[in-house]
Chain A
Amino acid sequence: MLEIAWLIPIFSFLACAVLIFFGSALQRRWGEAVGWIGVAGVAAGIPLALGSLVELALGAAPVQYSVLWAPLGARIGGAEVNLHFGLAVDALTAVMLVMVTIVATCIMVYSIGYMHGDKRYSRFFAYMSLFTGSMLLLLLAGNFLVLYIGWELVGLCSYLLIGFWFERPSAADAAKKAFIMTRVADLGFALGILMLFFYVPSLNFAEVFAAASGGLIPATVVGLAAALLFLGAMGKSAQFPFHTWLPDAMEGPTPVSALIHAATMVAAGVYMVARLLPLFIISFGSVVLWGVPALTIVGIIGLITALLAATLGLVQSDIKRVLAYSTISQLGYMMAVLGMGAIGFAAAIFHLIVHAFFKALLFMCSGSVIHGCGGEQNMKKMGGLARRMPVTYYTTWIGALALAGIFPLAGFWSKDHLMAAVWSRSSSEPVYWIFFLGLELAAIMTAAYIGRLCFLTFGGTPRSEAAEYAHESPMVMTVPLAVLAGFTVILGLFGTQFVGVNLFNSVVNVDMPGSMAAASLHTSAHGEHGFNWIVAGISMLMAVTGLLVAIVVYRWQWVDTRIFKRYLAPWYQAAINRYYFDDIYRYTVVGGTLALAQVCRIVDTYIIDRLVNAIGWGTRVVWATSIRLFDDFVVDGFINVMAWGTGLVGRVTARAVHNGQVQEYIASFAVIAAGLACVVYVVVMLGW
């Protein structure tokens, strides 16, 4: 299986090609069964991905494939240096492949029901296949080139899918925003690659890591490059301050949101940092910004994002936006833990995978709710859906409790891993307690906002006609919900110590480079920290506290929410305005660029082009004047002299000279006339 793992994205790309070119024709014949082509393309990857993972778990060596992409000349006295299209499969890749193929398959099946009756039905599945294929390609990347290619293709697909209902201006805006914002962040990614390539004439991960740890690349350069690469990850994973595109991305159909938030796109940023973690660890000793190493920047940004997004999640009334901020916050957790170094590696990836399952579940549940309520997304107009949509109700609670981190769901185990990693880092370096406290604080808010979501949506009585007449979704939508809920329940097993050995950590580990400055960073590089009862206890306490708050306020309604709004008014105002990030960007970066563009246009039209025309005009005046003077004095004089001479000589020698003289006259006339004609033509044509 390992040898043919490169086929995994090919299936998806093939499905995409078939659907793009023959989609509408097939749909005329088969109806909406064409959606299953997309499902098949993605699902075909599952056995390959699982097989590869099992082989690697049983001790097979990671494999690499490469194809010549672009020749790059030779270095003096050296061999040819070429850019390869390089793929590689190791345990990290394999486990991600398994997650993406399974989650994406569930989402695609669900889409068959959700997109029923859409006018661009087959096109939707084409884009979804391309999206999944691009993500799989990104995961298989063995070098920076393929990583970047997959990265940008994922961006393209998010653009196409967020703007899938492009007739809506808000969808078109959101799509554009997502693409441009991530592209701006990707400038950092690109620059980071350029910096590294200058020192190592290869983009291969292994070679770059070896060169970096071998000292071929100065440590400061590694650090700066790592920070720049992280900038790209911040864009894709919607980290502060690039987080604003993700809530807007809700404009896409709900399965797209599920895919973006779980399996593709936002996962790419975390995966990238995990994949390139050796660079961050190697450069730990060298400072990048204000005396902070790149690795610590990752952690700080993650912590800020986790807290910031959690507070925003508390005040949203759109069901999908709550989940969007929840995703941002959870990604912040992962980044914060990656910032702990090698110790956080397995924990972050495990949480990424578990989160993918329960977040896809939650999004699809919200989609089911929206579907059932006839397109209503505002939770304040829902309520009382528990009885009307039982499958959705129970599966939502499973996802919600997993997100909150309640025992024994998978989310509990993965979050416990995260916190244990932070805990053990903090025990050696007390300053990291800030991370522990911050993330536990975010955990309370997480439980509170997801509890709020459940109670507002399903509890109480219907608050609108749409909710009154809500109905459960069809099987094709509820079965994927059940499958994902099943995963959400059992997945924790793979990451627990309870079965004796932590399966996940023993498979998914990478050899982090033995860095001189950061020896303490990988004391437990393979995540061998045992089960920590204290950490688990604190986490559970936080989760229960948050849920209790939600129950008190929204279930039992002992406290009126207006009290919060009144006493926390300044914060509440800022929060419902998303802390004004969008406004700030609109008036600074966006407005500034557009204004600068106008300045350039004006400079070009009224200065540079005018200058060019002025030079042309000046030349013409000088030229015309000289022609006129030439005409008045030289040509006229010449003709007069000729005439006079002709008269004089003509009387003496008659015909022969006369002939020649006429020819000469005509010739000179022709030259002058042509010159004048040119000038006249120019004058007339230019309208001067």
Chain B
Amino acid sequence: MPILSLLIFIPLIGAAVILFLNTERHRKAICWTATVAAAVAFVLSLGVWVRFVPGQPGMQFTELADWIDALNIHYHLGIDGLSLPLILLTTLLSLLSVIYSWRITDRIKEYMIFFLLLETGILGVFCALDFFLFYIFWEVSLVPMFFLIGIWGGPRRAYAAIKFFIYTLIGSLAILLGILALYFASTPHTFDMIELARQHPFAGGGIAAALVFWGFFLGFAIKVPLFPFHTWLPDAHVEAPTAGSVILAGVLLKMGCYGFIRVNLPILPEASRHFALWIAVLALISIIYGALCAMAQKDLKRMIAYSSVNHMGYVMLGIAAAVAFVAPEAVGQAVQHSRIVALNGAVLQMVAHGIITGALFFLVGVIYERTHLRDIDAFGGLAKQMPVYAGIMMLACFASLGLPGLAGFAAEFLVFLGSYGIYKLITGLALLGIAITAAYFLMMIQGVFLGELRERWQNLRDLDAGELVATIPLAVLMLAIGLYPDLILAVVDPASTALVTNLEQFYRLSDVIASLGG
């Protein structure tokens, strides 16, 4: 059974069904169709998780079919331990977002169609093993988000939507050029990512390799987003509707990191190693600078948006450490092991950040919907009025600031544990980020929840059923992954071990060749 195709296209089928429904008359039906489609996709992804064999080398659930023979384009799907957690994250957050979005009143039909289309695009990116297909899905995921922000967004939605669209489109074009360069550099010409990772078309290095690397880098770094390409993110988040923010922060950003892991690392290992320090430095800046910017924000959504810049910095630090150049005489067990730990941490951080930040955006949406305010100073004392809300929000905040026992800690701890073995100074400085993060989250908690309750908020109601359904699973997952990270790492670890081992072999070989040449 082509389970991955089914998984990817079930949301699309749901969207197609909704096309035939009428916004006014079939409101319930539209919501139900969307929910069922998202739920089926989620259940399918759970099935994939259950049947996934962690230790098995290579891709699993592969589907390969000829598509455009003349250009050697295939319909090639497959997943490994690096993409599986992200697929689960996508289907889960999509399902919760759809459930949460039942409350949308404006043009529910188009909204749900775009949402399901978005899910198809994201899932496609995480499953595609052919660059042609990868790029199509990549672009497919872009358009619905543009409309979600542009139509259902806040007051400055048009500005934010266009900024988001153009910024990421520029990134996409850079990726497209990179893909074409890889295609023409390979023999026989191929778009197949597995084959390209075998061939290493630009193994020799040089200007061409650098250009291709930076092309992909630009596309992925904008998506992550890595400093200094991050300014679209706060604008997009502030204007996006709640569920749009959840998917944007929870999943879309991960496409950038995933791109680095799936494309730059295995296909351009030489250039990746050469430029890893740059990425690590940008990651460090993202961590510190993002945290400081978050501290200075008054708008809750902007604050969480900047905290995403900060947290995605940890992912990129882990990725950079996984490929970093290490002087040949220093290479040893400890270094290779550090690389694996760092990569494990990076993938876990993607999942953790998706869950935590997804929950945070849901929760900010809750308060915004009730008060139409997101200003931290506008609130105060809400813990008294909305105890359940305050409890879940504080849980998410503490998870985000890396409290042990919750998901964020496990991920960040592993990133640090690994990256310290490679970049001692950068990791030491990056640790400062967790102190700043603690400070701004506690300042926010104090501003919103502690202190005396203001009179104007004495009629706020606590979470309703829909909001609980959307946030409780995320809260449970924060705790589950935090207590027992092996839940996720069991599939990630063999895959990252394999990737790092391959990279090490490649580097050893290329170092030997270089030394012979010298």
Contacts and interface: CB of A to CB of B under 8 A. Distances in A.
A194 B416 contact: yes
A198 B500 contact: no
B364 interface: no
Which of A77, A153, A685, A687 has its CB near the most chain B CB atoms (within 10 A)? A685
Interface stretch (A44-52, A178-186, A539-547): A178-186
A385 B410 CA distance: 52
A172 B451 contact: yes
A685 B158 contact: yes
A613 B167 CA distance: 10
Interface residues of B, number: 66
A73 B435 contact: no
Majority SS at the chain A contact face: helix
A70 B442 CA distance: 29
A163 B293 contact: no
A685 to B, nearest CB: 4
B344 A149 contact: no
Contact of B404 (A149, A601, A604): A149
Contacts of A73: 337, 340-341, 344, 493, 496-497, 500
B341 A194 contact: no
B181 interface: no
Contacts of B405: 149, 152-153
Contacts of A74: 337, 340, 497
Contacts of A506: none
B446 interface: yes
A75 B336 contact: yes
Given A183-B435, A593-B436, A600-B292, A70 B450 contact: no
Contact of B439 (A180, A191, A199): A180
Nearest to B343: A73
A131 B163 CA distance: 47
B260 interface: no
B484 to A, nearest CB: 7
Nearest to B404: A149
B450 A172 contact: yes
A200 to B, nearest CB: 9
Interface stretch (B4-12, B41-49, B67-75, B425-433): B425-433
Contact of A197 (B289, B336, B417): B417
A35 B337 CA distance: 49
Interface in B421-455: 421, 427-428, 431-432, 434-436, 438-440, 442-443, 446, 449-453
A210 B514 CA distance: 40
Contacts of B341: 72-73
Contacts of A163: 450
Nearest to A590: B439
A499 interface: no
B154 to A, nearest CB: 14
Nearest to B482: A149
B231 A604 contact: yes
A657 interface: no
- Secondary structure dominating the interface of B: helix
Interface in B367-400: 381, 383-384, 398
A608 B295 contact: no
Nearest to B412: A190
A153 B404 contact: yes
Interface string A139-179: 00000010011011100100100010011010011001001
B442 A167 contact: no
A350 to B, nearest CB: 30
B344 A72 contact: yes
Interface string B321-358: 00000000000011011101100100000000000000
A59 interface: no
B292 A597 contact: yes
Contact of A612 (B231, B383, B416, B431): B231
Contacts of B432: 187
Interface of B: 158-159, 162-163, 166-167, 228, 231-232, 289, 292-293, 295-297, 333-334, 336-338, 340-341, 344, 381, 383-384, 398, 403-405, 409-410, 413-414, 416-417, 420-421, 427-428, 431-432, 434-436, 438-440, 442-443, 446, 449-453, 484-486, 489-490, 493, 496-497, 500, 504
24 contacts: A70-B414, A70-B485, A70-B486, A71-B490, A72-B340, A72-B493, A73-B340, A76-B504, A149-B404, A152-B404, A153-B404, A166-B451, A167-B453, A172-B450, A180-B439, A183-B434, A187-B435, A190-B434, A198-B421, A593-B439, A601-B296, A601-B297, A612-B231, A616-B163
